Each structure stands twice: as C-alpha cells, then as structure tokens.
Chains A and B, each alone.
Chain A
Amino acid sequence: QVQLVESGGGVVQPGKSLRLSCAASGFTFSTYTMYWVRQAPGTGLEWVALISYDGSNKYYADSVKGRFTISRDNSKNTLYLQMNSLRGEDTAVYYCARRGGGNYNDAFDIWGQGTLVTVSS
C-alpha cells in the first residue's frame, strides 16, 4: 500500500547536524512533489520544506532557510532533510508528506508516521 516511513530522528546537541530520511513505497515516488512538516511538542503543524518531483525546485520556511536542506533520490524512492546548526526550537516530530496533485492540488494527501528530533545539551 502507499506508505511513507521516516527515520533518523534522535537526540542531538545544539549546533550539531542530523539527517532525516523518508522511504516511500506503493506509488511512483519520482512523479510527486514532497514536503516536510514538523510539530513541536504540544503545538500545531508547521510546514518546513518542499521539493519538486525531480528535485529542481526547493522551498523553505524562513525559520529553517539556510540551515536545512531538502533533497531526494528517486532511484532509491527516498526523501531527505539535512538539518544543520540545530536549535532548541527545532525540537519536534518531523513528518514527510506527499503532495496529492491533480484534483488534490496542494493537499498533503499521504503522511508518514513521524520521527522525533530532540535538540538538547
């Protein structure tokens, strides 16, 4: 079935780096725009980044611009989020999500289960 599975979360010190992965299955990954969304503990959802189906276009929230990099490897059906210079306010569950496209337009139609990133000394 259509599935997204995130991995790579953990506890990291402020200023350090971490790379998240999102493995896609059950659909043609290379034809879909993908997103990263995060949710700090006890708070709402925040869009983080977007990458087009072929990786040629990338967009970021100002809160992570210059520190985070979204990328993808369509040969491995995998989405990535490289997070550098991490701060306490980056502590959150990170979700990857698929842009539905077509009639779904910009809707985030498929979500992974999330991976927790904790930034703490």
Chain B
Amino acid sequence: QSVLTQPPSVSGAPGQRVTISCTGSSSNIGAGFDVNWYQQLPGKAPKLLIYANINRPSGVPDRFSASKSGTSASLAISGLQAEDEADYYCQSYDSSLSVLYVFGTATKVTVL
C-alpha cells in the first residue's frame, strides 16, 4: 500500500555519490508533512537516518544528506562505502488514506 514511490535500485562505486528519490502527492509530502528516511541493513531492523526532511540523528555520518521540494524528497549518499549497501525507505504522514503513515517502496543501494 506504498504511496511514496522510490526507484527499486541504485548503485555506485566506492567513493561515488548516489541519490534516491521519493515521490509523493498533495496528501503527504506535498501537504508539508515531514519526510523521514530509514536504512535497513540485511537481516536487521530499520534505523532512522534522516528526520524532519534534512536532519541527521547523532551518530549518522554527514555523508548522508536529504532535501525536500514540492511533492518529492531525495536522499544523497556521498563518498559511498561498502557498509552503505542496504535498503532505504522514505516515510511521511498521509492525510487521506487508510493509514496514518506511509513508507516508500524501498531502494536497494548496491556498492559495486
């Protein structure tokens, strides 16, 4: 029931920069609700990576950055490292559907 659309996969060589898009609508991102990003390493629980659109929790490297504009948001990973290989999810509040909170469709980041 994801209403936030992400690319299924992105890849890059170590040291490169990759970006992940998250496209929503006027009932979620476009309505001004915050976008949060999560990293899920293989076999692990998700971990908060970015909150309130652009902020990193303590301990998250500054290689991770995010932005939001209109009905979309994006996550960028600079200086890609092997340990960044994981699934990434965007998430927001939605005012119109049968769920309060919606997650993106997940993006698998592969480090070549």
Which residues does A use to contact B, with CB under 8 Å? 35, 37, 44-47, 50, 59, 61-63, 95, 100, 103-114
Digitize B20-59: 1 where CB-to-A-CB distance is under 8 Å, 0 elsewhere.
Answer: 0000000000000110101000001111100110010100
- Min CB distance, B63 to chain A, in Å? 20
The interface stretch among B67-75, B78-86, B94-102 is B94-102
B51: chain A residues at CB < 8 Å are 100, 103-105, 107, 109
Whether A62 and B98, one on each chain, are in contact in the complex, defined by CB atoms closer than 8 angstroms, is yes
Which residues does B use to contact A, with CB under 8 Å? 1-2, 33-34, 36, 38, 44-48, 51-52, 55, 57, 89, 91, 93, 98-106
- Min CB distance, A120 to chain B, in Å? 22
In whole angstroms, how far apart are the Cα atoms of A110 and B101 in the complex?
16
Q: A45-B91, A46-B1, A62-B99 are in contact. List 16 more A-B contacts (CB 8 A).
A: A44-B106, A45-B103, A46-B99, A47-B102, A61-B1, A61-B98, A100-B51, A104-B48, A104-B52, A105-B51, A107-B36, A107-B48, A108-B46, A109-B51, A111-B46, A113-B45
- Min CB distance, A81 to chain B, in Å? 16
A62: chain B residues at CB < 8 Å are 98-99
| 25 residue pairs bridging A and B, Cβ less than 8 Å apart | A44-B103, A44-B104, A44-B105, A45-B38, A45-B91, A47-B101, A47-B102, A50-B100, A50-B101, A59-B100, A61-B98, A61-B99, A95-B46, A100-B48, A104-B48, A104-B52, A107-B48, A107-B52, A107-B91, A108-B38, A108-B46, A108-B48, A111-B46, A113-B45, A114-B45
- Min CB distance, A27 to chain B, in Å? 14
